[in-house]
Every structure is written in structure tokens, then in C-alpha cells.
Chain A
Amino acid sequence: MKNKRSLRFLAVLGVFSLIVAACGDGGVEFEAGELGAVTVEAGEAIQIRSLNAISGEVAFLGIPNQRAVEMAIADYGQIQGHDVSMGTGLDDLCSPEGGQQAAQTIVSDEQVVGVIGTSCSGAAEGAMPLIADAGLVMISASNTSPSLTSDLEGTAGTSYFEGYYRTAHNDLFQGQAAANFVYNNLNLTKVALIHDGDPYTNGLTTAFENAFVELGGEIVIHTAVAREQTDMVPVLTEVAGFGPELIFMPIFPAEATFIVQQAGGVSGLEDVEWMGADGISVENFMNLPESENMYFSGPDTQFASNTNESTDLSGEQFLADYESEFAEAPSADFWGHAYDATTMLLEAIEEVGVVDGDVLHIDRLALREALTAVTGYSGLIGEISCDEFGDCGSSVISIFQHNNLADHQASKANILYTYPES
């Protein structure tokens, strides 16, 4: 009986001392805002995460982004004496489920300050509710769906969450650019649109439709294929029945490959022009002989002469560094956006971080405010200024024609149209 009593007393004492230790203060003046704060102890690294499509058919899109994040962290160096770490690169699977799963992993670690990602707009729609709820920030290098930010006229997009930013363009620009090109430069008035249900592809075809109809063109059919669909002959037959002059299919490589390979067998499509977007201006699709002479719209990537103000790295040097470290050129076009997104985040962390001896406090709300306030930041992609809904990217879109199966970089330099027209 006596043993039990003293044991219980010791237990209570132990718990009490634990509570005191946890609530212990270091006599600091820092007070966290309403979203809380991250405390980086002495010797610990500041934690950010990379969330991109790094596996499967769309790995071509995500791997360059993740590598650009690694390079940016290495180039930026320490913040207030703390290293920056991105941990293991996470996979967004280019789907809402993948984004949500990865987001759950991220928010379960309370030390994570921000995320660079996702690759695909659909994944961002799955991830953002969790990320916004946990107070983190996410800066995307390649999401372009308007639903994630706004309609550029003051109304928030249907999937807009606070804490979301992107250095990639809003697809309303790309839709307008593509429509201008087709109507004014190619002088075609009948266009068929094919998307795949994803927010990015559907957002882009809708943006194109609105812009094209306003110019005076006609959308003969606006249809979709399913992801992982393999038999495209029925949908191509249907499209051919409407007699389009051009087919705009801003979809992903797997479905696009099946479409162009099977289009040869469908009568009525012999003289049709084909156009895709940044989802398929990637190596494995551009290697197909059937993709020759296709038009591709996408963000302008002539960054050779731009310089990132945080690391003093020019676009040209980035490509040289990338090539020497990874033995290949970037396989997709958003490397500059990913690099700038990372340096932008690190700059903001440095700005709002409160130093207290060896410890660094990062207030989450202050970080969001700092990112929203970014204006005139010089990055590899040009000048970056964020609006209230997180659209920070430059809106320069260029359209090229694929005329060199062997040298894709040469094709990408074969630019036929740039938006905004100067």
C-alpha cells in the first residue's frame, strides 16, 4: 500500500515536470500569430517539401521541378545560420488522390514551413484543403488551372485556398494566346477541343473556347477522353464528323500518344492541324513521328538572359548546371518557375523569421502576408509580382511549331507567336 502511494506521487511529480518543461519559456518576445509558428531549434534545418509528379507517365513533368528545387536550395545557402532541407521528394501522382495523400504526409510533420508543388492542377485541388488548414504555404511551378486562383477579374476560383501561390501562368492567358494565334495567325475558324476532365485540361479548353468565340471563331465540338483510355477511334470519328480545321488537345502524353497514333486511321482528319499545350511538349511525346508539325503552346522558356536576384544565377547558367549535374537537359518547361518559387519562399522565410539566440521562429501568417506582398521580384522567368489570389507568374506565353524531331530545344526555339504581343 505504501509503495503504491509513493509510486503514484512520483508519477504525478513526473508528469508535472514534463508539463513544466514543455511549457517552458526561454524568455522570448516572440508571439505566434493566429496560424501558429514553426520553431527551428539550434542546429536543426528549416523544413520545406517538394511535391511533384515524379513517377509514371508524367514523371517528365515533375522530375525537372524537383531537381530545380534541390538546386535552388543549394544555391541559396543558409537562412540565419540554419540549413534548409527538402527531405525526400514527394509524389503527387498527377491526381487529386495523390495530392491529398502526399498532403497528409506533409501536414503531419509540424516542422514543415512550405511546399513547392504540385505539378498537376488536379493534385493541387486535392492537396490544398489540407495544406491551407494546417497553415502552410504552397507555391506551384506548373499548376495553371484558373480554378486554383481566380478569374483574373476579382472572383476567387472554385478551388482557391489561402496559402496558395504559383509562379506558373494562369491558363486564362494561355487560352487567350492560343485563340489569338489560331484565329489571327493561322486564320482558322473551326476548332475542335479535346480535354480529359482534369481541371488543367478542362480549364484550358474552356479558356480557349471563351476567347476564340469572342474573336469570332467557332468551336465545332468540345469533348473529352478518359484518363488511361486507349481506344480513341470512336471519339476521333465523332470529332471528324464535325469537320474541324484544327484540333486543340491540351492533354497529357499517354492519351495524346494514342490519339495521334490512331488519327491516321480515321477518315476526315487528313487535313486537320493539331495543337497541344505544355502537358505534351515533353520528350517522350515529341519523339513520336506523328507529332511533327504540331503546334504547342506553353510558357515562354527563353530565360537564358534572365537572372534570379536571390542567387545571381542566369537561365543559361542554370541549364549548364542542370546538364552537368544530371547529364541531360530538363525534360519539361517549368524548371525556371520551380527555381524561382523556391528562392521566393526562402526569401520570404528569411524576411519574416524572428531570430532568438540560436532559435528561429517563423510565423505562418506573416509568411503568407510576405508572399502575397511580393512585387517586382526578379527571377529566371522574368519579373514576379503576386496578386491577392496567389497568381505571381509572368504571363508570357509562346507558341512554337515542332519542326525538329531530333533536337527538341531547336523546335522550342521555333516560336511563331508570343503573348502578350509587344
Chain B
Amino acid sequence: MSTEVAPEVAKTRRFKFNWVDSFLWFVRVAAIIAITIGVVGSFQNFAAGEGPSAVAWRDLIISSISTGSMYGLIALGYSMVYGVLGFINFAHGEVFMSGTMVGLISATILFRSGFWDSNPFISIFVVLIVAMITSTLVAIVIERVAYRPLRGAPRLIPLITSIGVSFFVQYTFAGLFGVALRNYPPAPPQLAQTISIFGLPISGTRALVIAVAIISMIGLWYFVTKTKTGSAMRAVAEDKEIAGLMGIDVDKTIVTTFAVGGAMAGVAGLMWALLFRGVDFLTGFLPGIKAFTAAVLGGIGNLPGAMLGGVILGLFEGVGPLLVLGGLGIPGVSQLKDAVAFAALVLVLIFRPTGLLGERLGSEDRV
């Protein structure tokens, strides 16, 4: 809230004590102190030769970045839908799960026929395409069936609907594919090797995941800024009504938004396959929440923010517990990684409420 105050009044205005503000300042200061002590403690441990080795830290950081890139790709879908329609599509986690689940079916078929072992990279590409197509289709169907009829409704309604759609998709897949956890075939040996990038040895799968994330991000950036459809998406995100008056087909643009978000989630599905391999009908739930968190962390509605938020969240949850809490001397902290990740969200928002790169809200939401 910005109030214009005449200079004379501003000079005489006295500091007013406010409990809430003071508490928030206290939390900020306490958090900074705790984190600093933790990090310093970790460095001391490291210098003393205790705890994870330098190689282990490096691998952990790279692993966290690759997991974070996956969250970032899923977060793009959340950010885009929020930018265009103004609500959080909680079913997006299930869009991701559907891509990776159907990708698993195709990977199993390829594996059984021996194609997976003989042509690993083509197989991975096939799984990628299958996952992307499935996720895109699921996203489009959800939009058409569950969200379009609610276009004019108050924003809370599609939000609640999305929660229902999320459960619906989860249990439909549970019914179709069973509830057991199933594994992707192992990554081909060429991929499991360690390759050297800028002198840094990285496991092949992680390098592939990060590379795919970068390529997707560049592709998306190009699409959104340089193509006509992308400009239409940005216009609709800015102000739906005026965009409609300008001759943009708002419905079609919204469908495109969902489709692109779904495609990104499909790519994330392939990454899950490479990194974690195990898939069941609940796979989309926690990554979905974390991706939403990442989107908020980076600034909701902001696409580079979503990607950055994803990578930062990955780092927070992977490296955070060991670095901060381990340095404070607390043992066995990796169980707290989810708590740390969400606590990080709260802290970032306390320090910077609009997210790291700032929000991009539509005209209806801007003050």
C-alpha cells in the first residue's frame, strides 16, 4: 500500500509500534541467524573432515539441481494457468503423473521387445513423445470438461474443482493400471556413465535431465515471445477482455496454454522416469505440490520465475537440511527435507512476498 504523504507530514510522522510487523522482523532476524550458524557449522565440519566429502556435496548439489529442473518444468504449467485464468490448477500434478505412467507402459513394451537395450536413445525419445502427448491430451480434456464451464465463476470454484479432478485422475489411473509401484527399465549403460562438463564429472542421466530442461525452457521462451500464439497467450494473461476485443480467440488461446503446460509436464514425466524410475498412481501428488510451491517461490505467473523457483526449491530440499540443520548439529535430518522445503517457501515469502522474480498478475488481480 503506498500512501502519498506531504513532506512536512512525513517528517513529523513518528514510528508506530506494531506487534505483527515486529514479530515478522523477529522471524526474519532469527531465520537469518539460524541459517548462518547452520551454514558456518557445516563449513566447519567440512574443514574438520567430518560429514559428507566434497565429492558428495558436489553430487548432492547436481542431483538437487536436476530434481529442481523437473519441479521447474511442472511449475511452468501452474504459472501459465494462473497467469491466464487466475486460479491454481491442482490437477496439474496428475497431468504429470499421467504422462509418466503411460510413458512407463511404452517403455515396458520397448524393453520386452529388446528395443530398449539395442536403441536406448531412440527409446527414450519415444517415451518422451508418448509422455508429452499423453500429458497434453489429459490437460486439454480437463480444461474442456472441468474448467471451461466455470469460466465466469468466482475464482474459488475452479480451484475446488481442480482438487476434485486431481483425485478423479489419480483413482482413474489406479483403476486402469493398478496400485502397485512399477519401475521403468534401467537407464541404458551409456547414460549411466559419468561425463565431464567444464571439468565437472556429472552422471549421464542428471546431465541429460538438466540439458532437456534448458532446451525446453529455451523452446518455451521462444514460443512465448517470438510466435503469434505466444503473444496471444501473453495478451490473454494480461487482460482477457481487452485481448478478446483485439480479435484474439480467447478460448483457443486458453486451450493452447493448457496444452503447452501439459507438454512441459510430459517432459518432466520423462525426467522422473530417468531419475526415480518408480511410478504409481500417487506419483504426481507431492511433486505437484512442490511445483506449485516453486511457482509461488519464483513469482506466480512469471515463467522464468517458475523455472528458477523450481531449481531453488530443489536445492533447498536437497542441500538445505544437510547444510543448515546438519551444521546446527542435528542428526538424521534428511527426513525433514519436505519440512525444510516448505519452510523455505514461508521464509522467502516473509522476506519477499511477491516471490523472487515478482508476480505477473492479470488485470483482474492487480491492485
A238 at the interface (CB under 8 A from B): yes
Using Cβ atoms and an 8 Å threshold, which residues of chain A touch B321? 234, 238
Determine if B332 and A224 form an interchain contact, defined as CB atoms under 8 angstroms apart: yes
How far is B180's CA from A222's CA once the two chains are assembled, in angstroms?
Answer: 29
Determine if B318 and A234 form an interchain contact, defined as CB atoms under 8 angstroms apart: yes
A378 at the interface (CB under 8 A from B): no
How far is B163's CA from A216's CA once the two chains are assembled, in angstroms?
Answer: 53
Determine if B50 and A241 form an interchain contact, defined as CB atoms under 8 angstroms apart: yes
Using Cβ atoms and an 8 Å threshold, which residues of chain B touch A228? 282, 286
How far is B282's CA from A265's CA once the two chains are assembled, in angstroms?
Answer: 25
How far is B326's CA from A235's CA once the two chains are assembled, in angstroms?
Answer: 12
How far is B332's CA from A268's CA once the two chains are assembled, in angstroms?
Answer: 17
How far is B275's CA from A231's CA once the two chains are assembled, in angstroms?
Answer: 9
Using Cβ atoms and an 8 Å threshold, which residues of chain B touch A238? 52, 321-322, 326, 332-334
CB distance from A170 to the nearest CB of B (A): 25
For window 98-123 of A, CB contacts with B under 8 Å fall at none
How far is B331's CA from A257's CA once the two chains are assembled, in angstroms?
Answer: 24
Chain B window 325-363, contacts with chain A (Cβ cutoff 8 Å), 1 for yes, 0 for no: 010000111110110000000000000000000000000
Chain B window 156-173, contacts with chain A (Cβ cutoff 8 Å), 1 for yes, 0 for no: 000000000000000000
How far is B283's CA from A145's CA once the two chains are assembled, in angstroms?
Answer: 29
CB distance from A261 to the nearest CB of B (A): 6
Chain A window 234-264, contacts with chain B (Cβ cutoff 8 Å), 1 for yes, 0 for no: 1101101110000000000110011001101
Using Cβ atoms and an 8 Å threshold, which residues of chain A touch B256? none
User: Interface stretch among B15-23, B56-64, B217-225, B237-245?
Assistant: B56-64
Using Cβ atoms and an 8 Å threshold, which residues of chain B touch A262? 276
- For chain A, the bracket of interface size reads 20 to 34
B51 at the interface (CB under 8 A from A): yes
Chain B window 238-269, contacts with chain A (Cβ cutoff 8 Å), 1 for yes, 0 for no: 00000000000000000000000000000000
How far is B113's CA from A47's CA once the two chains are assembled, in angstroms?
Answer: 49
Using Cβ atoms and an 8 Å threshold, which residues of chain B touch A226? 335, 338
A404 at the interface (CB under 8 A from B): no
Determine if B183 and A237 form an interchain contact, defined as CB atoms under 8 angstroms apart: no
- Which of B51, B181, B337 is the one whose CB lies under 8 Å from A254? B181
Known: A231-B276, A240-B56, A268-B52. A57 touches B67 (CB 8 A): no
Using Cβ atoms and an 8 Å threshold, which residues of chain B touch A224? 332, 335
- Which of B183, B277, B280, B322 is the one whose CB lies under 8 Å from A234? B322
Known: A56-B180, A238-B322, A241-B51. A223 touches B56 (CB 8 A): no
Known: A56-B179, A221-B331, A228-B282. A233 touches B276 (CB 8 A): no
How far is B303's CA from A324's CA once the two chains are assembled, in angstroms?
Answer: 60
- Which of B179, B276, B322, B335 is the one whose CB lies under 8 Å from A225? B335
How far is B186's CA from A262's CA once the two chains are assembled, in angstroms?
Answer: 11
Using Cβ atoms and an 8 Å threshold, which residues of chain A touch B50? 241
B230 at the interface (CB under 8 A from A): no
CB distance from A205 to the nearest CB of B (A): 11
Determine if A235 and B334 form an interchain contact, defined as CB atoms under 8 angstroms apart: yes
Chain B window 44-88, contacts with chain A (Cβ cutoff 8 Å), 1 for yes, 0 for no: 000000111101110110011001000000000000000000000
Known: A234-B321, A265-B63, A267-B55. A258 touches B276 (CB 8 A): yes
CB distance from A231 to the nearest CB of B (A): 6
B278 at the interface (CB under 8 A from A): yes
Q: Closest chain B residue to A289 by CB distance?
A: B186
Determine if A266 and B337 form an interchain contact, defined as CB atoms under 8 angstroms apart: no
CB distance from B38 to the nearest CB of A (A): 14
A80 at the interface (CB under 8 A from B): no
B203 at the interface (CB under 8 A from A): yes
How far is B180's CA from A57's CA once the two chains are assembled, in angstroms?
Answer: 5
Determine if A266 and B335 form an interchain contact, defined as CB atoms under 8 angstroms apart: no
Determine if A223 and B59 form an interchain contact, defined as CB atoms under 8 angstroms apart: no
Chain A window 34-77, contacts with chain B (Cβ cutoff 8 Å), 1 for yes, 0 for no: 00000000000000000000011101000000000000000000
Determine if A225 and B53 form an interchain contact, defined as CB atoms under 8 angstroms apart: no
Known: A237-B322, A238-B326, A241-B52. A231 touches B67 (CB 8 A): yes
B interface residues with partner A (beta carbon < 8 Å):
50-53, 55-57, 59-60, 63-64, 67, 179-181, 183, 186, 192, 203, 206, 275-278, 280, 282-283, 286, 317-319, 321-322, 326, 331-335, 337-338
Could you show 15 A-B contacts with beta carbons less than 8 Å apart? A223-B332, A223-B334, A224-B335, A228-B282, A231-B276, A234-B317, A234-B318, A237-B322, A240-B52, A254-B278, A258-B276, A261-B277, A265-B59, A265-B203, A268-B53
A interface residues with partner B (beta carbon < 8 Å):
55-57, 59, 197, 221-226, 228, 230-231, 233-235, 237-238, 240-242, 253-254, 257-258, 261-262, 264-268, 289
